[in-house]
Amino acid sequence: MAKCLISGSDYDHFIDFGEMPIANAFGSKEDMIDEYTFPMKVGFCVESKMVQLVNQPSRERMFHENYAFFSSTSDYMKKHFKKFASSVSELQSLSRDSLVVEIGSNDGIMLQNFLESNIPCLGIEPSKNVAKVASDKGIDVITEFFDMQLAESIVQTHGKADAILSANVMCHIPYMHSIYDGVKFLLKEDGVFIFEDPYLGEVIEKTSFDQIYDEHVFLFSALSISHLANMHDLELIDVEHQITHGGSMRYTLAHKGSKDVSTNVYELVQREKELGLDTHSAYEGFADSVDKIKSDLVELLTKLKNDGKKVVAYGATSKSTTVNNYFGITPDLVECIYDTTPIKQNKFSPGVHIPVLPYEEFHASNPDYVLLYAWNHAQEIMEKEKEYMGDSKHWITYIPSVKVT
């Protein structure tokens, strides 16, 4: 039995993915010598309502000076964060006298919108390579991990925040109590803490198991966030569904009693209870559903190989690490992965060591089938490649089930 990171209670796992490498550890052949892995199991705590990894690698192994994820490589995400920033500015009536703090600011894709509006902002980003990109845009960035100690330092140097934001970061952090203590201390009395992360309800309903990897310590729900917020005298006051990352939820928190709670919260909590997300019932069949996708995809790829078809992949995502290593997809089945991120190009994928090649070489490769790891950007990608793919080439997707188009 494991101990819940939120409640401290005992809980057990409901799926075991086996040994798994660091999802973003794309590297050279030399980097793959003595490659680090950890036992990746996922469990559910009834008391805290939290779904979580049983074991987590150290944060230094995951977020470092060679971290390979840059948010600004997606045009869709640029538009998404521009709208996010605009909604926060309107909600809090932000001005030149305000302060916005973003936890996990990456390459500045969100904060640049506040900078352009002359709204003071501060980024917290421990991965120095992506933090430098934000700094080069003129954004003030602290290259440390956020916790209570850093919150106290920020209040001394910058004052308290009107809005604390985070996108696809909170679920990465195991020491959640220190985060929430820091947020409560840093937030003005009428301030808001707004963050979005992959949504547990979507993962269960779609069987989007590849949202689970080393960085995603938690999969949140309104139930679990309400419980966690209450432990720190904060309150979940609004929720808003997002289509990003295959289905996310935006949570808005405030000091308890400082703002009205939206009916959206009560409605989502009720729906989650109807889905059984507050009990073990929702998770019992999850492993079986994942294994069905596994058998179907491996069977398809094996058949295509035996038929002499050329299969490549599109998008060297973190999610692909879970798929490749749990399913046993090697270069024998998928020849290579094409990706637009320079830091991943001419490297190898974690664990199974599929070559990652520059996107610019994709069209010349002339594949018969393309396995789409970046399925959460399927609409954007398929539209972009529509002319090239034509009628002779086919996409393979696997969420919520294996499909050839």
pLDDT of 64 above 50:
no
Mean pLDDT throughout 89-114? 96
pLDDT at position 127: 82
**Which of 62-71, 86-95, 136-145, 189-198 shows the lowest mean pLDDT across its residues?**
62-71
Do 14 and 159 lie in a common domain? no
Query: 66 Cβ partners below 8 Å, 6+ apart?
Result: 129, 343
* Full domain range(s) for residue 48: 2-53
Does 299 map to a domain?
A: no
Model pLDDT for residues 185-227, shown as the tens digit of each residue: 999 999 999 999 999 999 999 999 999 999 899 999 999 999 9
Instruction: Tell me the average pLDDT of the chain.
Output: 93
pLDDT at position 284: 87
Does 105 map to a domain?
A: yes
pLDDT of 350 above 60:
yes
Does 59 map to a domain?
A: no
pLDDT at position 57: 81
**Which of 106-115, 183-192, 240-249, 304-313 shows the lowest mean pLDDT across its residues?**
240-249
Does 61 map to a domain?
A: no
Between 307 and 377, residue with greater pLDDT? 307
Do 215 and 104 lie in a common domain? yes
Which CATH number characterizes residue 387's domain?
Answer: 3.40.50.720
Q: How confident is the model at residue 177 (pLDDT cuts 50, 70, 90)?
A: very high
pLDDT at position 243: 86
Do 103 and 183 lie in a common domain? yes
Do 14 and 110 lie in a common domain? no
Which CATH number characterizes residue 112's domain?
Answer: 3.40.50.150
pLDDT at position 369: 98
Does 65 map to a domain?
A: no
**Which of 75-79, 90-94, 275-279, 318-322 shows the lowest mean pLDDT across its residues?**
75-79
pLDDT at position 220: 98
Query: 395 Cβ partners below 8 Å, 6+ apart?
Result: 369, 370, 372, 378, 382, 389, 404, 405
Does 58 map to a domain?
A: no
Do 77 and 161 lie in a common domain? yes
**Which of 66-80, 104-118, 363-377 shows the lowest mean pLDDT across its residues?**
66-80
Provide DSSP, 22-81.
Answer: -TT--B-TTTTTT--EEEEEEEEETTTTEEEESS---HHHHSSTT----GGG-HHHHHHH
Does 211 map to a domain?
A: yes
Residue that has been written with the tokens 């830091």 in this structure = 343
Model pLDDT for residues 245-282, shown as the tens digit of each residue: 778 999 999 999 999 999 999 999 999 999 999 999 88
Do 277 and 326 lie in a common domain? no
Where b means 16+ CB within 10 Å and e means fewer, 277-303 reads bbeeebbeebbebbeebbeebeebbee
Model pLDDT for residues 1-29, shown as the tens digit of each residue: 899 999 999 999 999 999 999 999 999 99
pLDDT at position 69: 52
Do 187 and 331 lie in a common domain? no
Mean pLDDT throughout 302-312? 98
Do 86 and 172 lie in a common domain? yes
Do 269 and 360 lie in a common domain? no
Query: 384 Cβ partners below 8 Å, 6+ apart?
Result: none
Does 302 map to a domain?
A: no
pLDDT of 97 above 90:
yes
Q: How many domains are contained in the chain?
A: 3
- Residue at 70: amino acid letter: F
Q: How confident is the model at residue 372 (pLDDT cuts 50, 70, 90)?
A: very high
Do 81 and 224 lie in a common domain? yes
pLDDT of 74 above 90:
no
pLDDT at position 349: 98
Query: 295 Cβ partners below 8 Å, 6+ apart?
Result: none
pLDDT of 60 above 70:
no
pLDDT at position 71: 57
Prediction pTM value:
0.89
pLDDT at position 68: 47
Mean pLDDT throughout 149-161? 97
Name the packing angle between helices 176-186 and 222-231 (round to 10°).
Answer: 70
Do 45 and 95 lie in a common domain? no
Do 40 and 76 lie in a common domain? no
